[in-house]
Chain A
Amino acid sequence: MSTTSLMIVGVGGQGALLASKLLGRLLMGEGYDVKISEVHGMSQRGGSVVTYVRFGDKVYSPIIDKGEADYIVSFEKIEAARYISNLKKGGCVVVNTQQIDPMPVIIGAAEYPESILDELRAKDVDIDAIDALSLAVEAGSPKAVNIVLMGRLAKRFNIPYEKWIEAIKNSVAPKFIEMNLKAFELGYNA
């Protein structure tokens, strides 16, 4: 199988690490060669963060370049747009409609492009937008946004539902399993 490329983008502290850990576990379990790449350090502090997940028979590069991503999972609205040039033609974007103002917007130096997703849809980009924050809160914690989005992504993956459930159980602390399973289900059925 040729390599599939997936990007997880968002704001530092939104839980991309757990999402990539979950995907890594799931995909390795399916027998794929997997590479996951992220950047630590300065960029974590509330900045824009990106994680690359690539899997297939044999994966070489750990990063994803322009026009290469089959999927972009975005934890925040404008972060999806920031990395949109990485999306392959025909690729899809699963995006949380949550809006987190970056500092230039907070201090009034820039404007938040509210209708950015419509602009991308007009360019024929496959945008799957859900209010993952509300669903996460419904599941029991605003921190479960990552798992809600994984649920949404799972619909587009050719991997059995039970395998996802198993991977979640193995990736989160026992006391959070139930809440995360609910978050996953809500995302999957949204």
Chain B
Amino acid sequence: MIGNEAVARGLYEAGVGVMSSYPGTPSTEITEFEAKYDEVYCEWAPNEKVAMEAAFGASLAGVRSACAMKHVGLNVAADPLFTISYTGVNAGMVICVADDPGMHSSQNEQDSRHYAIAAKLPMLEPADSTEALRFAKEAFKLSERFDAPFFIRMCTRIAHSQSAVETGERTCSAKPYVKDPAKYIMMPANAKKRHPVVEQRTLDLTEFAETCDLNREEYGDGEIGIITSGTCYQYVKEIFGDSVSVLKLGMINPLPIRRIKDFSAKVKKLYVIEELDPIIETHCKNIGVEVIGKELFTNIGEFSQGYIAAQLGMPEKACVSADTAIPNRPPMMCAGCPHRGMYYVLAKNKITVLGDIGCYTLGAVPPLNALDMTLCMGASVSGLHGFNKALGAESEGKTVCVIGDSTFMHSGMTGLVNIAYNGSNSTVIILDNSITGMTGHQQNPTTGYNIKGDPASKVSLEAFCSAIGIRRVRVVDPYNLDECEKAVKEELAANEPSVIISRRPCVLLKSVKAKPALKVDADKCRSCKKCMKFGCPAISIKNGKARIDATLCVGCEVCMQLCPFDAIGR
């Protein structure tokens, strides 16, 4: 199983009854696998805050619950997080958060452990699929014992690595819901009484960390000791096997004190090896234990066994390299991607485009170079409002934002309410491909289906925009370049807020049938390369003439509209 499936299995075996999440690489599969168990109610929530609150509600009701998100999703859910720390739980609650060191598929590489410290909540970190299953299961028990939601922290290399696991049976135990205002109504008088409870809980958890088997010592020789956790543990074992002493931390917040001091006393030289920020290292230094950490091991990107060995001065392994430069192969929008047509129109008209999070971020790369900004979920819409308020008429007629359907539901819609309410003359383009694309096709409130693929209530983007007071709402087909261009020009010229819904389903959806591939008539092609300007991976120039790769082309016909010589056809 991949680590994420193992987490799902652990949650399942521990009797999770409700799980609510928002997809985000590398966390998505936890919830997708959980949804395969019929006994568990699973859902895609519109965003991580809603997901965490739904999970909290289930816990309050007495049913074990979970939510999963990527590291930046935890930012969105931070508001409930900090106060759930005060209320504690009724039935156990597990929050799975997946970090992405190296930013394989993320906009930053923040370290989620800071949240555990800041919210004063316990956090477990598995180092392989076996531990992912075990820790997820254990987390529910501990959550009820210590009256706190437990974090399971994953990272890309644990989440997406497969190794063998042993599965067990599912056991369920519900708790009754009992009204308890002093614990669950966090108004100042009650919260003041809960804060000391939180502080005491951290002391209790620290004591637990001193002896629990989530942390373990593996003694080798007394020369070198290494304190580590998660995927770095595997790299350390890969290099040293059983020859050095290792303190492997499975619970990374709170960290033990006596245990670290005892370990350090048994080794001559002590290293802390951790990806991203110096969390363990800082703790060691705070308790007076001298360690070598970030002066040797960077806080940027992913580690590997080779990197760690090199930093420790070990010889590099022999390898060959190519002398010829190998051209990059960056990810790109697929052939027939419905986003491409709209991006072509925006780029052609030299429009400033504030972007958002999703496949359509790929509009930023050559040859389209269509984007000016990408920050976080929903920021395109709210950012556009501020941009236009700052520059007024100077920017209003030539600036738009683009946001996907799922991202719009996540946090773009509040920005649009702000545009309507505070009246900026902004043009918002919703790239509606009827699915959450980048994370691998998850349903969302605009698709009309739920996580299990069953029919569900469907948010009408048009009705929503109208209801909040946007009067100019129109729908265009991004495969029709003239229609898109007309809409963009007219809405930019209009003297009020407007929304263009650029609607066409993702070509990778099974329900979307490809049309026959197009061909280039070499006699008609005059090598003007106009068809190369919109970056379709199916089109290339061979021997001076355009050529269409029949295995990639889905027959979207957008390139036909670009060719001035009618050289492209069936």
Contact = CB atoms under 8 A, between A and B. Distances in A.
Co-complex (A, B): yes
Interface stretch (B189-197, B205-213, B324-332): B324-332
Interface of B: 25-26, 28-29, 104-105, 128, 156-157, 160-164, 231, 234-235, 237-238, 304-307, 316-334, 359, 362, 365-367, 438-440, 532, 535, 537, 539-541, 551
20 contacts: A33-B164, A34-B163, A37-B161, A40-B105, A41-B25, A41-B104, A43-B104, A45-B359, A46-B537, A62-B128, A62-B231, A62-B234, A65-B306, A78-B329, A81-B326, A89-B319, A102-B327, A103-B365, A106-B532, A113-B325
Contacts of A103: 329-330, 332, 365-366, 535, 537
Nearest to A142: B551
A120 B322 contact: yes
B contacts with A: majority SS:
loop
A107 B541 CA distance: 8
A28 interface: yes
Contacts of B332: 45-47, 103
B329 A47 contact: yes
A38 B159 CA distance: 9
A102 B366 contact: no
Interface string A104-137: 1111111111001001100111000000000000
Contacts of B318: 67, 88-89
Given A61-B238, A103-B535, A68 B317 contact: yes
A11 B324 contact: no
Contacts of A35: 128, 161-163
Contact of B235 (A44, A61, A142): A61
Contacts of B438: 41-42, 45
A124 to B, nearest CB: 8
A85 B321 contact: yes
A87 B320 contact: yes
Given A40-B105, A86-B319, A107-B367, A63 B331 contact: no
B233 to A, nearest CB: 8
A106 B439 CA distance: 26
A87 to B, nearest CB: 6
A103 B362 CA distance: 12
A34 B537 contact: no
Given A40-B440, A61-B305, A67-B318, A108 B163 contact: no
Contact of A79 (B105, B329, B331, B535): B329
Contacts of B328: 48, 102, 104, 110
A168 B141 CA distance: 41
A88 to B, nearest CB: 7
A82 B25 CA distance: 25
A67 B163 contact: no
A84 interface: yes
A34 B331 contact: no
The 10 closest A-B pairs by CB, nearest first: A67-B317, A41-B105, A65-B306, A41-B25, A47-B331, A62-B161, A110-B327, A67-B319, A102-B329, A45-B331
A68 B310 CA distance: 14
Contact of A65 (B29, B305, B539, B541): B305
A65 B235 CA distance: 10
Given A39-B104, A103-B332, A105-B540, 17 more contacts: A37-B160, A37-B161, A39-B160, A40-B25, A40-B26, A43-B105, A46-B332, A66-B316, A78-B329, A84-B321, A85-B320, A104-B327, A104-B328, A104-B366, A106-B537, A107-B535, A119-B323
Contact of B306 (A42, A66, A112): A66
